[in-house]
Amino acid sequence: MLVNFKDILNEAYVNHYAIGSFNGYNYETFKGIIEAGSETKTPVILAFGAKYLKNMSLETAYAISKSLGETSETPICLHLDHCSDLDTVFRAIRAGFGSVMYDGSALPFEENVKNTKLVCDMAHACGVSVEAELGSLAAGEGSHEGMASDVEVYTQPMLAKEFADVTHVDALAVSIGTVHGLYKAKPNIRFDILETINNLLSIPLVLHGGSGVPEKDILLSTAKGIAKINVNTEISVYAVDKTTELLRSKQPHFSEVSLHQVNYVKEIVKKYISFFGQR
Ligand code: 13P
């Protein structure tokens, strides 16, 4: 069933586990993510990034997730990931997305507040949940979202408090040392900043850059308010590596390639679900 993310995130937040938010951009990724959720009986967030509008339209993303999600007994939330364009955010709400991430993190604080509040007012009136971001992440290797020029700016707890109070956002993405893409060294996550933000805000917090974060850091972060963890790069790297291996070993029919790819996506998503899941 398709849901809006507030219900599943609030439950995760209160019970100190995280819901996985996995990036999908074609039929194979959507199916792999949804099947991983169904087979593990775990809610999943299907994150369609504004970056992937070249792969499919918002309306197609909704149609596929509705068709595949309706037969699933576990909750599935179709979410718009990282979108800095207000028109696209409003179109996603109209298209049927259960949640949207308005990303105004590159804007001056006041402008980010103003735009996020506008999105929250509109989205909440339509029963749609909103994630926003404060601070910014650097990029590691192989990230499709981050750029080498991205600089790490930690989220300031007092600004986060003001931001949440004024906008009424449902979940806030924080910058605490994770990166988009694969880590070149062990991640240095600032749990002290996370704890302060969590004590001030008491709303579900979001960890971007989930690929490669060690399980023990995931556990610590969920104990301190992280209720949604985003994973993109590792799914792509694994699926591309396995597809390359498959094509080297034989020449399958194109339709078979697609079936294998659903399974590659599913394997990685299930691995992360086992790290994040309800314990
Ligand atoms: P990774 O690509 O590092 O897994 O990050 C994904 C992400 O944060 C999507 O918003």
CATH number at residue 86: 3.20.20.70
In contact, 19 and 45? CB cutoff 8 Å: yes
Q: Write the CB contacts of 117 (distance below 8 Å, at least 6 apart in sequence).
A: 166, 167, 168
Q: Measured in angstroms, how far is the CA atom of residue 232 from the centroid of ligand 1? A: 5
Compute the distance from residue 107 Cα to the ligand 1 centre, in Å. 20
| Residues having CB within 6 Å of any atom of ligand 1 | 23, 81-82, 143, 145, 180-181, 208-211, 230-234
- Domain ranges, residue 49: 5-275
pLDDT band at 204 (very low <50, low <70, confident <90, very high): very high
Structure tokens at 259: 């079936």
Residues 230 and 90: their CA atoms lie apart, in Å, by: 22
Question: Mean pLDDT across the stretch 20-41?
Answer: 97
- On whether the pTM is more than 0.75, the answer is yes
- How far, in Å, is the centroid of ligand 1 from the Cα of 15? 23
pLDDT of residue 29: 98
Minimum mean pLDDT range among 100-114, 144-158, 215-229: 144-158
Taking the CA of residue 236 as reference, the ligand 1 atom at the shortest distance is 2
Write the residue with the smallest CA distance to atom 1 of ligand 1. Answer: 209
So what's the pLDDT on residue 193? 96
- In order of 72, 112, 176, the CA distances from 188 in angstroms are 37, 27, 8
278 C-alpha vs ligand 1 centroid, how far in Å?
21
Question: CB atoms < 10 A from the CB of 150, how many?
Answer: 18
Q: What is the pLDDT of residues 47-100, one digit of tens each?
A: 999 999 999 999 999 999 999 998 888 999 999 999 999 999 999 999 999 999
- 101 - beta bridge partners? 131
Mean per-residue pLDDT of the chain: 94
List Cβ neighbours of 41 (8 Å cut-off, separation of 6 or more): 73, 74
Q: Which residues are tagged catalytic?
A: 81
Greater confidence (186 vs 24) lies with 24
pLDDT at 34 over 90: yes
Instruction: Using pLDDT thresholds of 50, 70 and 90, give the confidence band for residue 145.
Output: confident
Per the structure, the count of domains in the chain is 1
Q: Which of 19, 136, 174, 180 to mutate to test the pocket of ligand 1 (most atoms within 8 A of CB)?
A: 180
Average pLDDT over residues 210-218: 93
